[in-house]
Amino acid sequence: MKLQYPQLLKQQSYVDGHWCDADNGKQQAVVNPANGELLAHVPMLGAAETQRAIDAAQAALAKWQALTAKARATILHRWFALITQHTEDLALLMTSEQGKPLAEARGEVAYAASFIEWFAEEAKRVYGDTIPGHQTDKRLLVLKQPVGVTAAITPWNFPAAMITRKVAPALAAGCCMILKPALQTPLTALALAQLAEEAGVPAGVFSVVTGDAQSIGKVLCDSPVVRKLSFTGSTAVGKQLMAQCAPTLKKLSLELGGNAPFIVFDDADLDAAVEGAVIAKYRNAGQTCVCANRIYVHEKVYEAFAEKLAAKVMALKVGAGVDDGVVIGPLIDAKALEKVQTHLHDALDKGAKLLCGGQPLVGNFMTPAVLTDVTSQMKVAHEETFGPIAPLFRFHDEAEVIAMANDTEFGLAAYFYANNLSRVWRVAEALEYGMVGINTGLISNEVAPFGGIKASGLGREGSKYGIDEYLEMKYLCMSV
């Protein structure tokens, strides 16, 4: 891995504006999932260092929140510009530690940067209210104030974007943030911190603590100083963190697992649906929480859709993300590959047919698969596969498919393809999900509210709503 700007490869954590090692000197290796190559070591911080990051955030808070929104925005705009300028290096770091193809990594850098630009703009539009008084001598006002010290815990599947869509609104609102990135992908997080420092983010306002998830998580959750936690990851860990935050009654944003249905009605444009399914299913080798997990196809178009999809999927090039033309990189690790293979074999054992792919390859690779004759008894129907398998379920009518689509504890993203306008409205309103893609397989962007319902979490990120998660309302009642 050769970076144009070698300062972006950091092997230390960033606490209170200083690059530091663990107190006990412990480190963790970061490896390339495509070939097992050792990329770097990062410190394994624990409770004491995390507490120092919290203290630093608390110390930095008053000055940061006292800046004008425009002054904070100027720093965020500089951060945005630096990230954009270093796109190639950041993409290479990301592909090296996470595996996604370089083109996708470049796309994620742009997506990650877009949150910083967006919230730099939104910082200046945090308006309050004046409310007509309930009595003639009363004047009522609502102020919006930053929540205070906040924390974020992020996953490995989007090593940059899951960070910026938390840090950018936090900093824009006038909050400080301590980030614990995923251990698999700390290098992108640390490179972002390097650029934040260069952009002029003051010491303590943004710290990055790499290390032991449980001990860092516990200190962040237990601390009465930390007023909010934003987490993206599994539902199981999200529930655990919510329980750990109960004693200090923290505000929470939780972006958890999904089990996205992707429905193809018989009035859909079939070619467009196939294109959309490829994007919604195979991006990041199927490792996104909005990936289509269950593909429901109307019986009239089932065979045609399956054939067209398999033809496209067989053409997807599998390989290391840095190689030309690769669309499907490795899975994050051996355990992930094992889970995906378990889902595949469970489906095959219960009668599904394999149209293409499904072969595990040396390393953590797998050829992208299409399964037909899938039923709701199979694991792929109930659990998030998080890998490149498209299971095709057959359905007969609209009511049946809506019931099947909603038959899950999750409620993050759903997709459907249809052209009948009445149906489009009916189905969009009936799907119990936080986000619905209609005739498109790609829904995420910085201007729209991202988030789920049910076991998929709490709160929204991005959009004009995202900054509210980092603001408290204060009501003033004035007697005149």
Q: Which residues make up the interface to ligand ADP (CB under 6 A)?
A: 153-155, 180, 182-183, 213-214, 217, 233-234, 237, 240-241
Q: Which residue is nearest to ligand ADP (CB)?
A: 217
Catalytic option among 255, 384, 446, 469: 255
Nearer of residues 32 and 235 to ligand ADP, judged by Cβ = 235
Q: Give the shortest CB-220-to-ligand ADP separation in angstroms.
A: 8
Q: How far is the CB of 211 from ligand ADP (least distance, A)?
A: 9
- Smallest distance, ligand ADP to C-beta of residue 346, A: 19
255 is catalytic: yes
* Min dist. Cβ of residue 179 to ligand ADP (A): 9
Query: Could you tell me whether strands 369-374 and 129-131 are parallel, antiparallel, or unpaired per DSSP bridges?
Result: unpaired
Distance of closest approach, residue 183 Cβ to ligand ADP, in angstroms: 6
Residue nearer to ligand ADP on the CB measure, 237 or 412: 237
299 vs 409, beta carbon nearer ligand ADP: 409
Q: Report the residue number, 221 or 316, with the smaller CB distance to ligand ADP.
A: 221
CB nearer ligand ADP, residue 149 or residue 163? 163
* Burial (CB count within 10 angstroms: exposed 0-12, middle 13-18, buried 19+), residue 342: middle
Residue 157 or 372 with smaller CB distance to ligand ADP = 157
Burial of 453 (0-12, 13-18, 19+ CB in 10 A): middle
CA of 327: how far to CAs of 196, 369, 378, in Å? 31, 14, 27
Q: How far is the CB of 229 from ligand ADP (least distance, A)?
A: 9
Closer by beta carbon to ligand ADP, 238 or else 441: 238
Name which of 219 and 344 has its Cβ closer to ligand ADP: 219
Count of CB atoms within 10 A of residue 130's CB? Answer: 10
Using only C-alpha atoms, the chain has a radius of gyration, in whole angstroms, of 23
Minimal distance, residue 219 CB to ligand ADP, in Å = 10
CA dihedral 160, 29, 10, 12 (to 10 degrees): 110
Give phi and psi for 391, each to the nearest 5: -90, 125
At closest approach, how far in Å is the CB of 181 from ligand ADP?
Answer: 6
Please report, in angstroms and rounded to a whole number, the separation of the first and last CA atoms in the chain: 67
Residues annotated as part of the active site? 255
